[in-house]
């Protein structure tokens, strides 16, 4: 199974670049930028990564971002991910970034956008991997902040392909971001949203009906609503599922009961992704392997899921 998973061509469609910040790089950048970390060494960082829900992870995720300061920092972060992705036979990635996590710390748009672009261009030339960016809005902040972010992002319109919605889900439903998603749609951008990770099925309905998303990130809790499952299948909306993330955030207590299998039985286009690999203990192939073991996926099922990921890409090469 290991070899099959390694050798298959795959796309990764749910990876937050800031969630690929490995403890080693966090330490290196903290030193480079003279930023004090609340950890004495790498082991302390790793042992702090014990989560009991989404928020307990997000608190450390935003704290970790503080070490990202210069264009080179963003370049190093992106290049390290793309290098790892290429080594796992990922041929294409559509990568989330959180601009509000950086502008709120007075980092300039040029700094992160130029760092990301340089890494993506070099990785394409050196490693043959294709990568595009999807800008996410932080849903714990008001829509007015997302609208400002959208206007600033339009100065970099050719550097990203879509918009998404992430951060703390419960209490921040998709419908609150209708206007900014409409603007993104009018600009010809692809639309995605995290929904049904901790929120119930109503969050997924809203992402589809109010935002008009083209894929759903996570989607796990849609499993409780048969008419919703049928709608997702009928509209061919891919789910970008993240098993190790679900396990580490305790949103799916037992991987053997992961919702992916049932969605697959209903004909939903399911995909496997890593979400925040530096925090959740595995990159893409480790996620495939963990779910293969837990759900006893067959080689044909693994091939189908990998093929789904290529079909669900917004950009077809």
| Residues taking part in catalysis | 197
Residue number closest to Zn ion, CB atom: 275
To the question of whether residue 145 is assigned a binding role by annotation, the answer is: no
Query: Which x/- pattern over 169-208 shows residues binding ligand HPA (rule: CB under 6 A)?
Result: -------------------------x--x-----------
Q: Are 276 and 309 in contact (CB under 8 A)?
A: no
CB-nearer residue toward Zn ion: 71 or 166: 166
For residue 253, give the DSSP letter: S
Q: Is 276 annotated as a binding residue?
A: yes
Q: According to the binding rule CB under 5 A, does residue 275 interact with Zn ion?
A: yes
Q: Does 287 bind ligand HPA (CB under 6 A)?
A: no
Q: Which of these segments, 119-127, 154-162, 172-180, 270-278, binds Zn ion (CB under 5 A)?
A: 270-278
- Where would I find the beta strands (DSSP E) of 57-153? 90-97, 130-138
Strand partners, 316: none
Task: Give yes or no for residue 73 binding ligand HPA (CB under 6 A).
Answer: no
Asked if residue 73 binds Zn ion (CB under 5 A), the reply is no
166 is an interface residue for ligand HPA by CB under 6 A? yes
String of DSSP letters for 161-190? -EEEEES--TT--GGGGHHHHHHHHHTT-E
* 19 is an interface residue for ligand HPA by CB under 6 A: yes
Contacting residues for 19 by C-beta, under 8 A, at least 6 apart: 61, 275, 276, 277, 278, 279, 280
Cβ nearer to Zn ion, comparing 89 with 168: 168
Tell me how far apart the alpha carbons of residues 248 and 215 are, in angstroms, rounded to a whole number.
Answer: 23
Q: Which is nearer to ligand HPA, 91 or 259 (CB)?
A: 259
The crossing angle, in degrees rounded to 10, of helices 71-87 and 23-32 is: 160
200 labelled binding-site residue: no
Query: Judged by CB, which is closer to ligand HPA: 194, or 214?
Result: 194
| Residue 258 assigned ligand-binding role | no
Any idea what the Cα angle at residue 107 is, between residues 101 and 109, rounded to 5°? 90
Q: Which of residues 99-138 bind ligand HPA (CB under 6 A)?
A: none
Binding-residue total with ligand HPA (CB under 6 A): 11
Rounded distance between C-alpha atoms, residue 284 and residue 206, angstroms? 28
Residue nearer to Zn ion on the CB measure, 71 or 275: 275
For tokens 């450390």, what's the residue? 60
Q: Which of residues 40-59 bind ligand HPA (CB under 6 A)?
A: 54
Residue 54 interaction partner, one of Zn ion, ligand HPA, none, beta carbon < 5-8 Å per kind: ligand HPA
Binds 197: which of Zn ion, ligand HPA, none (CB < 5-8 Å by kind): ligand HPA
Q: Check whether 217 is labelled as a binding-site residue.
A: no
Coil, helix or strand for 194?
strand
**Per-residue contact string for residues 229-248; x = within reach of ligand HPA by CB under 6 A:** ----------------x---
b/e burial code for range 93-123 (CB count within 10 A of at least 16 → b):
bbbbbbbbbbbeeebebebbbbbbbbbbeeb
Interatomic CA distance for residues 203 and 199, integer angstroms: 6
Q: Binding to Zn ion by residue 98, rule CB under 5 A?
A: no
Q: Which is nearer to ligand HPA, 5 or 138 (CB)?
A: 138
- Helix (H, G, I), strand (E, B), or coil: what is residue 160? coil
Query: Which residues fall in the annotated binding site for substrate?
Result: 276
Interface residues with Zn ion (CB under 5 A) are 275
């Amino acid at each position: 199974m290991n070899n099959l998973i390694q050798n298959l061509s795959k796309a990764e469609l749910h990876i937050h670049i800031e969630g690929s910040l490995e403890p080693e790089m966090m330490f290196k950048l903290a030193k480079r930028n003279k930023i004090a970390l609340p950890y004495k060494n790498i082991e302390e960082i790793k042992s702090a990564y014990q989560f009991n829900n989404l928020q307990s992870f997000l608190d450390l995720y935003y704290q970790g971002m503080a070490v990202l300061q210069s264009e080179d920092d963003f370049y190093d972060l992106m290049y390290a991910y793309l290098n790892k992705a290429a080594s796992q036979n990922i041929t294409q990635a559509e990568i989330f970034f959180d601009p509000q996590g950086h502008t709120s710390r007075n980092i300039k748009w040029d700094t992160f956008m130029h760092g990301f672009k340089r890494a993506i261009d070099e990785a394409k030339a050196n490693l043959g991997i294709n990568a595009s960016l999807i800008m996410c809005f932080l849903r714990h902040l008001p829509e007015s902040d997302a609208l400002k972010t959208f206007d600033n992002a339009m100065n970099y319109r050719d550097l990203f392909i879509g918009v998404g919605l992430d951060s703390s889900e419960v209490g921040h439903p998709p419908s609150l971001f209708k206007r900014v998603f409409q603007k993104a749609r009018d600009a010809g951008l692809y639309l995605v949203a995290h929904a049904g990770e901790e929120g119930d099925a109503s969050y997924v309905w809203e992402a589809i009906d109010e935002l008009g998303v083209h894929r759903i990130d996570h989607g796990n809790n849609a499993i409780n609503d048969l008419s919703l499952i049928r709608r997702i299948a009928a509209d061919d909306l891919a789910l970008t599922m993240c098993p190790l993330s679900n396990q580490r955030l305790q949103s799916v207590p037992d991987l053997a009961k992961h919702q992916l299998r049932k969605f697959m039985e209903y004909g939903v286009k399911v995909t496997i992704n890593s979400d925040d690999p530096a925090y959740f203990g595995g990159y893409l192939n480790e996620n495939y392997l963990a779910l293969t073991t837990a759900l006893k996926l067959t080689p044909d099922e693994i091939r189908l899921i990998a093929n789904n990921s290529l079909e669900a890409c917004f950009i077809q090469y």
